[in-house]
Amino acid sequence: MNPLIWIIPVLPLLSFVLLLLFGRRLKEASAHVGALLTLGSLVLSIVVLLNQWGGEPVKETLSWLTFGETTLSAGYLVNPLNALMLVIVSLVSFLVQVYSGGYMHDDDRFPIFFAYLGLFTFAMLGLVLSPNLLQLYVFWELVGVGSFLLIGYYFYKREARSAAKKAFIMTRIGDVGLFIGMILLFWQVGSFEFDEIFAAVEAGEISEGWITLTAILIFVGAIGKSGQFPLHTWLPDAMEGPTPVSALIHAATMVAAGVYLVAAMFPLFQASEAALTTVAVVGGFTAIFAATIGLAQADIKRVLAYSTVSQLGYMMLALGSSGYVAGVFHLTTHAFFKALLFLAAGSVIHAVHTQNIHEMGGLWKKMKWTAPLFLIGAMAISGVPGLSGFFSKDEILAATYADGRFGLFWIAVIAAFLTAFYMFRLFFLVFTGESRGIQEKVKESPVSMTFPMIVLGILALIGGLINTPFATYLSDFLAQNEALEIHHHETRWWIPVVATGVSLLGILMAWLVYVKKKVTRFSESAPDLHYILLNKYFIDETYDYSFVKGTRALSYFWYYIDRFVVEGLVGLVTGIVGWFSKIGSRFQNGQVQLYSSVAFAGMAILLLVVAWIGGYLT
């Protein structure tokens, strides 16, 4: 159909290579190169998406590697899910690059930044286009590297270094799960291709136990990438990277790759109830767990980061409850409003040069564009009726309820309440009241920064309309994929009411606490709880004392074994040999007379022996 599909990821790669080679000469123009090439990807992606509308999936491969009788292939696959993801990724990437042109203006490593963005966008688009698990894994790791490089962009900061390292290692722990799952699946099916795996699952060629095992292992990969509990700790730390990066990678695209992975492998998960339950429980737990931490954080980006973790948990919950459409829908809307929130936060940071919300305040009047746009984002994520988040969150709640997971349903409702509360806590602390810091010349950001926010703001406003209870465009579109069985559940009328109720209640609570100051802050009313939340349940410390210190101790143990036992044994052997030679060397005192005495004695003994053996002595 469209022979130019492979161009989509190649354009950002080209931008990476060009900027790496000629970045120093291009300087300011690097932003244009990066953005223009990504714009090309965006246009092509939209064309592909439109072609997919009612079209057939496209798949083309060529051989990549041969061993034994097996040939592994590489290529691309476009189906409705992929096409949607293509547009999301290239759109957000394009907007972020435009935004970065303003945000990173003063940085002297400007071209490298855009080169890294190009690399990341390439990897992410490649991931989305992968027709098989192996290729997906390849790009899966590459997006990890893109993320790693960009988190560590301010390499001279100690925190950035540890954050980058942590992000890479934590996600790699998850990746190993995916790695094992992928290989085990290969030996069950004999192929990495998605369609062949699904066909084998459909035909019942794989036993129930294997399906569950491999599905959960693959989900471990998603846990790592999407920052789900217990591998979530890297994501908030990843905020050490520049803010546009947080918007692109750690809000809209890469972290959603875990959700995408589960969605792409959905037929496998559907075949195992246990795997689905695992996904749902992990997702639900993460949703509420991260939301509670988000209540107490003081860094504007960290609040948003925990919010991302929580929302990703939501998506997982949806997928685990067989709510395929709900999960993908929320992924889409979340990409818009969370990228918007991050970009707005970046705009604020750009203006006030701090990330601590307690030093901000009263910015509503000073930032005419950023403030309303942030409000739109906050309303969308809180689920205020009519905005995009409302519809997708509603869909998730409905799916969870319809799947009979009532416990998780109520957890999700509480998480929705918490979300509304902490988002508006953030909003009120940053934009209302009096300025608490020393920000004298606060200026609105340049157009290059406000324009992307406006685009995302519009999408956050109306994005929900692609799948309302009245017009299920997205659902129909995704249902084109024949491998999926998409459940249509009837929406219960009271679920949207409850959802709206809790989100409004959350906003009201935040208003009472932070604007009216009628209710005491809970840092004062429950200091112990606040302390625990502020320290993120001490998960980092626990990991540090168990895994990090444990590995270090084990390493030292083996190191000393190596130093003293292994080398000691070697030393023992050489020592014994040396001891013998020392004894031998006493005879070698340089005295010719001793030598000849020994030689003569030796000859005499030899003669005696010969005589004795020859029988001359008897």
Query: Quick one: which of 471, 570, 572, 611 contacts other proteins (CB under 8 A)?
Result: 570
Rounding to the nearest 10 degrees, give the CA dihedral for residues 520, 525, 526, 530.
40
Query: Quick one: which of 406, 538, 559, 579 contacts other proteins (CB under 8 A)?
Result: 559
Footprint of other proteins on residues 63-82 (CB under 8 A)?
63-70
What is d(CA 115, CA 18) in angstroms, rounded to the nearest whole number? 8
Shortest CB 139 distance to other proteins, Å:
8
Reported as type and span, the H/E element at residue 66 is: strand 58-67
C-beta of 183 vs 509, nearer to other proteins: 183
What 3-state class would DSSP assign to 70? strand
Shortest CB 593 distance to other proteins, Å:
5
C-beta of 95 vs 160, nearer to other proteins: 160
554 forms part of the interface with other proteins (CB under 8 A): yes
541 forms part of the interface with other proteins (CB under 8 A): no
Contacts of 492 (CB under 8 A, 6+ apart): 398, 401
Reported as type and span, the H/E element at residue 346 is: helix 324-352
Shortest CB 276 distance to other proteins, Å:
24
Shortest CB 561 distance to other proteins, Å:
9
160 forms part of the interface with other proteins (CB under 8 A): yes
What is d(CA 487, CA 472) in angstroms, rounded to the nearest whole number? 13
Shortest CB 535 distance to other proteins, Å:
24
What is d(CA 352, CA 247) in angstroms, rounded to the nearest whole number? 19
583 forms part of the interface with other proteins (CB under 8 A): no
C-beta of 140 vs 266, nearer to other proteins: 140
Contacts of 213 (CB under 8 A, 6+ apart): 181, 184
Q: Which stretch binds other proteins (CB under 8 A): 81-89, 468-476, 562-570, 608-616?
A: 562-570
Footprint of other proteins on residues 119-158 (CB under 8 A)?
134, 137-142, 145, 152, 155-156, 158
Shortest CB 111 distance to other proteins, Å:
11
Shortest CB 576 distance to other proteins, Å:
14
- Amino acid at site 445: S
Whether 153 contacts 160, CB under 8 Å: yes
- Amino acid at site 436: R
Shortest CB 363 distance to other proteins, Å:
33
What DSSP assignment string belongs to 257-323? HHHHHHHHTHHHHHT-HHHHHHHHHHHHHHHHHHHHHHTT--BHHHHHHHHHHHHHHHHHHHHHTT-
- Amino acid at site 193: E
Number of chain residues interacting with other proteins (CB under 8 A): 58
Footprint of other proteins on residues 171-200 (CB under 8 A)?
172-173, 175-176, 179-180, 183-184, 186-187
What is d(CA 102, CA 110) in angstroms, rounded to the nearest whole number? 11
What 3-state class would DSSP assign to 67? strand
Query: Quick one: which of 473, 494, 556, 564 contacts other proteins (CB under 8 A)?
Result: 556
Shortest CB 101 distance to other proteins, Å:
22
What is d(CA 236, CA 250) in angstroms, rounded to the nearest whole number? 9
Q: Which stretch binds other proteins (CB under 8 A): 41-49, 495-503, 514-522, 564-572?
A: 564-572
Q: Which stretch binds other proteins (CB under 8 A): 170-178, 194-202, 432-440, 537-545?
A: 170-178
Query: Quick one: which of 76, 99, 120, 168 contacts other proteins (CB under 8 A)?
Result: 168
C-beta of 187 vs 493, nearer to other proteins: 187
Shortest CB 10 distance to other proteins, Å:
13
Shortest CB 129 distance to other proteins, Å:
15
614 forms part of the interface with other proteins (CB under 8 A): no
169 forms part of the interface with other proteins (CB under 8 A): yes
Whether 56 contacts 115, CB under 8 Å: no
* CB neighbour class for 403 (10 Å; exposed up to 12, middle 13-18, buried from 19): buried
Shortest CB 163 distance to other proteins, Å:
11
207 forms part of the interface with other proteins (CB under 8 A): no
What is d(CA 243, CA 251) in angstroms, rounded to the nearest whole number? 11
C-beta of 147 vs 333, nearer to other proteins: 147
Whether 346 contacts 244, CB under 8 Å: yes
Footprint of other proteins on residues 395-454 (CB under 8 A)?
none
Shortest CB 614 distance to other proteins, Å:
19
C-beta of 185 vs 300, nearer to other proteins: 185
Provide, for the chain, the percentages of residues in helix, strand and coil under a 3-state DSSP scheme, each rounded to the nearest 5. Answer: 75, 5, 20
572 forms part of the interface with other proteins (CB under 8 A): no
CA pseudo-torsion sign 66, 70, 71, 73: negative
C-beta of 220 vs 325, nearer to other proteins: 220
Contact pattern from residue 592 through residue 611 relative to other proteins, giving x for each residue in contact according to CB under 8 A and a dash for the rest: xx--xx--x-----------
Query: Quick one: which of 546, 551, 581, 603 contacts other proteins (CB under 8 A)?
Result: 551
C-beta of 109 vs 487, nearer to other proteins: 109
What is d(CA 277, CA 298) in angstroms, rounded to the nearest whole number? 34
Shortest CB 275 distance to other proteins, Å:
18
164 forms part of the interface with other proteins (CB under 8 A): yes
C-beta of 358 vs 552, nearer to other proteins: 552
Nearest C-alpha neighbor of 197 from the set 136, 113, 245? 136
Q: Which stretch binds other proteins (CB under 8 A): 465-473, 484-492, 506-514, 583-591?
A: 583-591
Nearest C-alpha neighbor of 152 from the set 235, 242, 233, 224? 242
Structure token digits, residue 451: 């324009």
Whether 282 contacts 223, CB under 8 Å: yes
590 forms part of the interface with other proteins (CB under 8 A): yes
Shortest CB 320 distance to other proteins, Å:
25
Nearest C-alpha neighbor of 236 from the set 178, 318, 339, 159? 159
Shortest CB 408 distance to other proteins, Å:
30
Distance set, CA 308 to CA 143, 170, 221, 533 (Å): 18, 17, 18, 17
- Applying CB under 8 A, the residues found at the interface with other proteins are 63-70, 134, 137-142, 145, 152, 155-156, 158, 160-161, 164-165, 168-169, 172-173, 175-176, 179-180, 183-184, 186-187, 551-552, 554-556, 558-559, 562, 566-567, 569-570, 574, 588-593, 596-597, 600
